[in-house]
Structure 1
C-alpha cells in the first residue's frame, strides 16, 4: 500500500478553506495534517473536505489560535493528544490508520522574538515543550510512526537563507537546534525530507513582510516529516509545494509532502 501525506501550517483553516480545497483537489494527498487552524473543532469547515473524499478528521482546536487537525481519505482512529509544558494549547493530535501507522501532528510554540528565556517567557515555553517531547519519546519509544508538523525550528545551515545572520534569530539558534536534535534522537526519528533531498537549500516558510517573497527567497525550513526507523526506508518522493505560498490569500508556509510504501 502506498499512501501520500502532506503537512501544512494553514494559518486559519476557515479563512483559507479555499486553498485547502485547492490543495486537496490538485495534489490529492491521502492524509493532510494541518497546524495553526485557529478554530474550535466544531467550526472547522468539514463539508467541503468530505465532498472531496476526506470524510475522516481528528482534531484539537481553540478559538483564534493554535489548533491541529488530520484530514484523511482513509479511516483514522484518534489515539491521544499531549499538552506538553502544560500550556493548555491545542498543539498535538495523534491518530492511527488501518495499516497500523501512527501519525503525530505537532505545532511547536514559535518562541517569541528574543532567544532568552529570562526576558521572554515564550522562548522558555518553547524549550520546555521540546524537552517534554523528548522525555515522552524516550519513555514511549515510538514504532511504525510518522511525526509531522510545524516544529518552528530550521535545524540545518541550509534550512535557512543565511546561517550566520540567523544564528541569533528565534527558530535557528543553537539552543533550539540542540533541543530539537535531542527530541529527534529520543524517538529515533529519521528526517524523511532530508533523507530524500539531502543537499542544498530547502525552505517551507517565507515571511509575509517580504514585498516579493519569492524573489527575496529569505526562507526557512520550519515544517518537517519524520518517521521511525522501522518505516523510514519506505518513504520517498518528498517535496515542498513552493507554489502554494503564492496562491491567493496564502499561508506563509508551504505544504511539505512525502509518500510511504507500506
Structure 2
C-alpha cells in the first residue's frame, strides 16, 4: 500500500486552517501529522470535505497539541505522556497495513541550555530520555516516527554550526540526547537518507524580517522509519515555499513516500 506522509508544525491549526486546506489541496498527502495545534480536540477544524475523514488527536487549549489526519483508515494506537509532563505531545495511529505512525512534539526547551536555571530545558532532556527508554524496552517494528523534534542534529541542519553550538536546538547535549533516542529504536532518518548532503532547513524564525534572503534556518522537523521498513521510504521533500505563504507557520511541511 504506497502512501505519502507529511509532518508540519502548524503553530495553531485554527488560526491557519486555510493554510492546511491549501496544502491538502495542492500536495494531497495520504497522511498529515500536525504539531502545536493549540486547540482542544473538540475545537479542531474538520477537513473531511477534502477527503480527510479519519483523524486522531490529543489537544490542549492554546498550547501543544498533536493530530493525525488521514485519507486512509486509521485506528488510534495510543498516546504517551513522556516524562509525565501532562502535555499533549504524542499521538499514534495504525494503518490497515499494520504500520504505526507516531507523531511527536518534543519540548522546545526555552532559551537557556542549562537545566539548573531553565526548567524547560530539563523537560526537553527528560522527554527525550523517556522516549529513548521506551524504545529500548520495546524496539519499534513497522513504525514511522515524525514530528517537530526541536533539534537540528547535523552541522548542515543549521545555518551556522559554530554560532549555534550554545543555542537551544543545536547544543551538543541535545544532539547527543536525540542521537541516543534514535539509536535506541534503530530509527533511520528518512529525510537525510534521501537527501544525504547539503544544508536543509524546515524552520525559519519570525524574528527575521527577510527570512528567505537571510536563510538562517534549522532542520527541526523529522521523518524517521524503523529499520525493517526504512528501505521502503523515498521521495523526501522539504516544502520551503510554504514559509512564504500569507501568515505562515515558522515551520514548513516535510514529506516522504513509502511503498509498503
Task: Give the CA deviation at 1:25.
Answer: 0.2
Give 1:2 deviation, angstroms: 1.2
The equivalent of 1:151 in structure 2 is 149
- Indicate the residue corresponding to 2:108 in structure 1: 110
Report matched runs for 1:200-219 at 5 Å. 200-219=198-217
Rounded Cα–Cα distance in structure 2 between residues aligned with 1:253 and 1:232: 24
TM-score normalised by the chain length of structure 1:
0.99
Report the CA distance between 1:247 and its aligned residue: 0.5
Residue 189 in structure 1 maps to residue 187 in structure 2: yes
Matched with 2:220 is 222
Q: TM-score, normalised by structure 2?
A: 1.00
Separation of aligned partners in 1, 2:181 and 2:58: 22
Gaps of at least 5 residues in structure 2 are none
Q: Distance in 1 between matches of 2:136 and 2:130?
A: 10
State the distance in 2 between where 1:251 and 1:99 align: 32
Partner deviation per Cα, 1:28-53 (whole Å, 9 max, x = no partner): 0000000000000000011xx10010
Unpaired segments of 5 or more residues in structure 1?
A: none
Q: Give the counterpart of 1:137 among 135, 138, 143.
A: 135
Matches within 5 A, 1:1-262: 1-46=1-46, 49-262=47-260
Distance 2:119 2:60 in 1: 21
What is the CA-CA distance between 1:140 and the residue it aligns to? 1.3
Alpha-carbon distance, 1:162 to partner? 0.2
CA distance in 1, matches of 2:142, 2:21: 29
Q: State the number of aligned residues.
A: 260
How many Å separate the matches in 1 of 2:77 and 2:45? 23
Tell me how far 1:257 sits from its aligned partner. Answer: 0.2
Dislocated runs of 4+, deviation >3 Å? none
Task: For residue 77 of structure 2, give the secondary structure of its aligned residue in structure 1.
Answer: strand
Residue by residue, what CA displacement relative to the aligned partner does 1:113-170 show, whole Å, maximum 9, x if unpaired? 0000000000001000000000001111110000000000000000000000000000
SS of 2:228's partner is helix
Q: CA deviation at 1:79?
A: 1.0
Secondary structure, counterpart of 2:141 in structure 1: coil
The whole-number CA distance in structure 1 between the counterparts of 2:81 and 2:226 is: 22
